[in-house]
Chains A and B, each alone.
Chain A
Amino acid sequence: MIGTSLPRPDATGKVTGAARYPGDLIEPGMLHLKVVFAHRPHARIVRLDTTAAVAYPGVVAVLTAADVPHNAYGLVEPDQPVLCGEVVRFVGDRVALVVATSREAAEVAAGLVEVAYEDLPVLADAALALTPDAPLIHPERGTNLIYHCPIRKGDAEAALATADLVLEGEFSTAWQEHAFLQPEAGIAYVDEDDRVIIHTAGQWLHEDRRQIAEVLGLPEAQVVIRYAAIGGAFGGREDLSVQHLLALAAWKLRQPVAIVWSRGESVMAHHKRHPVTIRCRWGAMRDGRIVAVSATAIGDGGAYASTSQEVIKCVALFLTGCYEVPNIHVDAYAVYTNNLPAGAFRGFGAPQAQFASEVMVTRLAHALGMDPLELRRINLYREGSLEPTQQPLPAGVSVRTCLDTCLTTLATLPALPPPAAPHLKRAWGFACGIKNLGYSFGFPEQATATVELHGAATIAQAIVRIGAADVGQGTHLILRQIAAEALNVTLETVQLIAEDSAEAPNAGSASASRLTMMAGRAVHDAALGALREWQNEERPARITVQYRAPATTPLDAVTTAGRPNYAYGYAAQAVEVEVDIITGQIRIVRIISVHDVGRAINRQQVEGQIEGALAQALGYTLMEHFQMREGRVATPGLSTYLIPTILDTPPEIISVILELADPEGPYGARGMAELPLIPFAPAVADAIYNATGVWLSDLPFTPERVLRALCP
């Protein structure tokens, strides 16, 4: 059961079209919603006239800010209006919500909502956000600073002053769009028990419920979130998008309502990965010891806070990568601008920070005349290493093993024939990666599961209740496998109830690579608990278990010390690239991706996560150039924002799965789904350097940027 490659029960339906995604739930007779977006980056609403829209045939209502009981929401802090009444702060701000008997009527009427704006100065550059004359995005705060995360360890300036070698670096990364296959959609209605039911796609049932209950001013028990089949998420469904709009309309009108966003609406209206600029100085001694890092990072948080505060903490923590550095002076800032809000995206700040740290480590080695892999071995985290926050790392530090395995795997590969033409330069590049698993910095980390065993002499049915979202990563099969193993029953015996906030307890979000560890552990513990009840002749045997991870802490305000995380995942990659030095085009030839997953509950799914994340990493590194001009989206569709297809992915991806058991995870499993995204960009940068002798420091490495670096 554990460690096999059981096929996904949902796979066939997803391929044949039988799976019901949120957009498939729409039935005749439902009302249709259309959002009136601001389409301007910063403006005061002078006048809002819905008369013509309301008069349009088929229109049932036009909702505005005045209709929202509590007009503020957000994952971390409620700074985002459901519907804007006074000011719009980015192009995707929602100004009104048209409800009509048909989608067409709603669309036409949305165009009839008259909004007069007075444009305000636009802040489009995060680097200017904290300057004195920058326009304030939320004037009541008195600053555009969302969050500042300092980390201090030892004395970085003194150590840099006495280091044998100091290198400076500057890096920038771009927005990344989640581009999940299924744009936002869903339905909502009020049921016979006067509960508002929101049936959509998301990443955390109970958090969606909390926020919507707050917006509507209802007790949480009166709000029910259900998830249909979810067509990808990657962090992009952590923030509310259409869920609260559906809830508002259904609750106000007491009629079933539906919405489907177009790709253009999806791209404009949901948050992105943070663009981050990083300036840093790294100091090392001649023997290869890294002695100090001083770094500043600025993340563009866009118009609303979303999870910026948490992302920027991860940026700060990972600006020194997976290396034990005795002296650290780091300042990471998330700032407001009039750009699209930035928030969660697979990797959550780690890819940006470690693009810089991995490249700096390699550059240090070159400058010292050392093998970059040898320099890594000297400085890599090991058991007991002190984190930047001055605490020992949680047990299970396997990055060195990942790197060594990567090299032994590489040694087994045949060399390819030389490139077909002299202008094609081919080389391997290397990088390591680290990512926290689960919630950080004192955020309460728990997952709760209920297991019910039915039958007489033997267990005929095991019902597992756990509100854990299967966003496509296969969590539901994993949880059933864990329950079946713990109970020693067949997979078919285990029935999972996971997609209804009223029927399943809170497992936390599908994020931070945490569900296999956290939800898996809760199911494991509950299954064993229920089995004990069963052995005590309880029929049905039923138990609810809350698993709480080892505690983490916020960082001390003065010393910045603390225990930020209870677990980390580690990875190492080797990437072979071919650079066309005349056009700047880059082809990824082969990838070795090594991951310590503790225990592969389902091997095929682990490989699927590695390969899928690598495709996303490839897009992030080479193709996905999200562009904004003065707060407006210049790449609103997939014809202008390029995501990889199968033609862009290399034919050979070698996934190496290490199973060094984690002390906390179920059967030793630890999270892994974000890790492949982290070493990839710096590994490609290293390969480009090895092939051509130039470093690229701005993601993505488009052909044009590569050529400019080659022929400055």
Chain B
Amino acid sequence: MKEEQKLQVSAIKNGTVIDHIPAKNLFKVIKILGLIKMDKQVTFGTNLDSKKLGKKAIIKLSDKYFQDNEINRLILVAPEARLNIIKDYHVVEKKQVEVPDQIKGISKCVNPKCITNHENVIPKFEVISKKDVALKCLYCEKITDQDNIEIIL
């Protein structure tokens, strides 16, 4: 069994492994991290079994390391994601997404009558729930919940 799991996605020598991504949000993660434009080797697996998430996805990036603020952008789509920093086939550091109290950009406000959807204003939110992420717009005060999050870049 263990052997089988190991084979699901092949190992990398140096880089970052992002684990515990909800399978349905894999492509959102790819978009948010800008992996489409990356010229390094990227491997990903999806619909892998996970006790925690049901179906999870995993991304392996060769020779790529992230800043914390880049990673924290994943809170809306993969709040439980774990990062393993790999050097010479060994995990040298583990990181996880930290939910900040406020976020700027990333999602649109759900309210069509909000000023941020009409003027050139970057949406800003207070994070009012960290588990099932819910965002309160700092402009119109309406709440955007996880089901209504629309990613902007």
- B and A form one assembly: no
Give A residues with C-beta under 8 Å from B. Answer: none
Give B residues with C-beta under 8 Å from A. Answer: none
